[in-house]
Amino acid sequence: MSQSQWIWVTGASTGIGEALARRLLQNGHNVVISARSADKLESLARAFPERCHALPVDLTDREALSQVSDRLKTITHHLDSVVINAGTCEYIDVKHFDAAPFAPVMNINVVGSANTVELALPFLRKSPNRAQVVGVGSMVTVLPLTRSEAYGASKAAMEYFMHSLRVDLAPEGIDVTLVRPGFVKTPLTDRNDFEMPFLVEAETAAEHIARGMARRQRIVQFPWQLVWTMRLISWLPLGWKTALLKKMVKD
């Protein structure tokens, strides 16, 4: 991505999305930033008034999709990349199992992602460059981690969605990049009450993602220490793996 491009980043009000949008803006790109809260987008938009454009949207609201598309058309006639980053996390307490968190987590992380693709594709198809879809998943898909039944399932669905899109969009010359971050310090992970090994700052995550986008990597995953630790554990027989991972379960 050497020349200036038009990039849409969702979930850009905080965390990875905000850090990535800022990095892309610093690299000279035109960036459309989206989140549900308009107020949280304003400070970034003010910092780059010529190239940063706020587009507040609830991506789970299908009735609003056509209005969002119309608003996006007033900003740009095409997109070179879309970064599907908006998401949420809810943990499950299996001792008092409650299925209620599954619906909102799936709705935001999976349905919201599909709605984003529906909105972005007509703009990506007009790109004068080779367009790109970037989906932010999670390293949680590598191993079945404790309390992650809802979040992990949503990210597994997101990952399959990205891989399928890669196959179907290849004939059109649209690249698909899947991002698997490890633990990243964000307002979302600040709520976690457990140890997060190899935790990285949001700015570091943005660096990895921006570099992976520029290189058109099919999969971007980081930090390498966590990637290799989880990969090695994933190669163990299922019984050994379960015995090891259950040590993470709190009494």
Pick from 10, 22, 5: which is nearest to 136 by CA?
10
Active site residue 151: yes
Say which of 48, 151, 161, 183 is annotated catalytic: 151
Active site residues: 151
